[in-house]
A and B are shown apart, each in its own frame.
Chain A
Amino acid sequence: MQKLLLVSMALLGLGAGIAAQRERTASIPSGNTPLVSNADALAPVPRLPDGRVDLTGPWVGGGSNADIEREGGLKPGELPLLPWAKQLRDNRKEQNEPYTICLPMSVPRINPFPWKFAMSYTSKGLTHIYVLHELGDSGAHRVVYMDGRTHPVDPLPTWWGHSIGRFEGDTLVIDTVGYNDKFWFDSRGTPHTEQLHTIERWTRINFGTLVNEFTLDDPGTFSRPVQLKFTATHIRPDLDLMEFICAEDNQYGIAGGFQPAQPDK
């Protein structure tokens, strides 16, 4: 009985929370993030002392948000959804999206929040790349193993899956498996299964532009693998990600058009 009471309290509360969060997501003033100037955007790609492309960012964009089909460059109806998946997508309500209750957005949904690649250089070289999101607890950090390891045979399904990366010339290639089936690709509700396998190919084509050639493969959801393309834009270079705690709904962050306080000149 006590358990039942707890569960029903939790459900009631979550329902009410979702209503409030729906209001919040609808009101996120996205698109206000200050971007690099047009002139600077065309500057050459900066490189590290070892010659490698600097992919750090911060970036905004480069993934899905409202509709992965449209934003990934496909025409309406071109996404080869299996019948069950199409039905599920069409029945989902935007306000039920997991990220609106502060659960992770996962791949390739990063918008409208800014993010960056944090390169972990250690005495063993570049061993990990972390993707840091401004959307604190809901985005937080994603790890990409760069030390040459392979995927585990039987990974426990997680929100972020198991990501391994490598450079092919100037392109960072990230291969991920081991996802859970809980997150949505977009607020439209495009679903996937635990069979999801993604390959991201990130290429910085000039100072201000980072292209994500994205392979989406999930035989549980799509009748064939699909190739999508997203583009991220560099944020004004003097800005840093700000603290945004989703569980507090505090709405700070450069995503909301705020700017970090500046040091004394």
Chain B
Amino acid sequence: MPAEAVACRGLKKYYSDVKAVDGLDLFVGNGECFGLLGPNGAGKTTTIEILEGLTVPDSGEVEVLGLTWKENELKLRERIGISLQETQLSEKLTVYETVRLFRSFYPSGPDPDDLIRDMSLDEKRNARVGKLSGGQKQRLAAACALVGDPDILFLDEPTTGLDPQSRLQLWEVVAKFRAKGGTVLLTTHYMEEAERLCDRVAIVDHGHLIALGTPKELIAKLEAPNIIEFTSEPALPPETFQNLPGCHGCNPRGGAWQLRVDSLAETVPQLIAAVEKAGAKLVTLSTHAATLEDLFVSLTGRELRDA
């Protein structure tokens, strides 16, 4: 078995108006859960579809399970499972018919009924796909990805638009697959999902890799582990507070300011004093431990969800 489940070097894909992927190197180890994180339009989907052999890159090399797409397409298709970002499976078919159809494409794999049960879809076994909820549809898509008993699972935004409970259910599916030694590559713009599921995360923006590591390492890259968020009346210029002791920087966020700080105990009193000294009044003040979201903001100056 090759050391890496997925490897790509110097990946580039330009469309007429945009550089979707602009020189990307990624390596995903066997049994690893790897997350591609970034805002909409960062090039996540283009990247994952190149790795899935659905899009041909302008340049760069891709190896999946040590094989290239050009020479081993059929073999690779039998060994990977894919959930696309927006597949509409045929609405006129039932859950069972859909799973059985996909099962027929693979030489081996689980029994359709067992798989449907694993996905908690047994109550919907004979329901038409068109009648399923968003979460059920995503679990059916996952079932179709798992139906060939793959070594690698590719999931493109598997929980976008789902309610929290459906999201949890899908996370469990991923956890079960990993427990059997499977490798997972997923894209998401939910920080929480990446922190919770992924061993390692690559943050991409404008087709570039801007950070890579375990969620912990990445958060540790923010020199400061804590975030203070406040608003004041009137609003103050950053010079008023950005040089407070223990403060490593600030960003505007919505109508508020965010400060990255070493210690809340040290900086919060100083901030209150500074605001008062400037003749303004604090309106809101909140704090939290830094997340990948904060890392993205500090790296790009923009927020993930509306970047």
Partners in one complex: no
